[in-house]
Homo-oligomer: A and B are copies of this chain.
């Protein structure tokens, strides 16, 4: 077997075991058993148990980072946001075990991991907040504390993905994208305003924007 392939096999095995049992309950023995190799083999490919974990999380992080593009306010904002959402959905739902792993990881577990994961989310939130600030200037984001909006959004996304992953993808992918977008839109996005009008926001006719909300 090819060296790179065995490495991947071990990563996959580790991912599955971590996702199933959690980091601490996952023993190296479990991982190698799942990969059908001897214990020592594990250490040919990774310096220690922790580093596989870190590599898995890092991989997901970077794929997520790659999926999120900064919104260009000159272009079609709705399309870009949906594209970002779609990207995130794709990355996360393509590897539910890994998503489980990421979402199930929490501060307090291990200071070293916590810092790494927190900094990732902080990065996402900052990205988001900056976009929201810009949006406020353009009048397409409601007034208010944008950093709280960002926190709110990230939390909502995390929970929805956690649930999706948990339940083995109850919601079809594109529907998830649509619903997520509408949540954001009805929440604080003001691409189409008339936000306080009870219902039926006509999506397209954007020219009539009012301040009042």
Binding site for B on A (CB under 8 A): 18-25, 100-101, 103-111, 114, 118, 139, 142-145, 148-149, 151-160, 162-163, 166, 171, 179, 182-183, 186-188, 190, 193-200, 206, 209-213
**CB contact under 8 A between A109 and B22, given known A145-B179, A186-B188:** yes
A186 proximity list for chain B (CB < 8 A): 142, 186-188, 195
Cross-chain contact A104 with B100 (CB below 8 angstroms): no
User: Apart from A19-B108, A199-B210, what are 13 other A-B pairs with CB-CB below 8 Å?
Assistant: A22-B110, A22-B111, A23-B108, A24-B109, A101-B108, A103-B108, A105-B106, A106-B106, A106-B109, A143-B200, A148-B160, A155-B160, A158-B158
Cross-chain contact A196 with B193 (CB below 8 angstroms): yes
Cross-chain contact B211 with A206 (CB below 8 angstroms): no
- How many copies of this chain does one complex carry? 4
Cross-chain contact A183 with B193 (CB below 8 angstroms): no
A163 proximity list for chain B (CB < 8 A): 151
Most chain B beta-carbon neighbours within 10 Å: one of A23, A163, A171, A209: A163
A105 to B100, CA, bound (A): 13
A151 to B103, CA, bound (A): 14
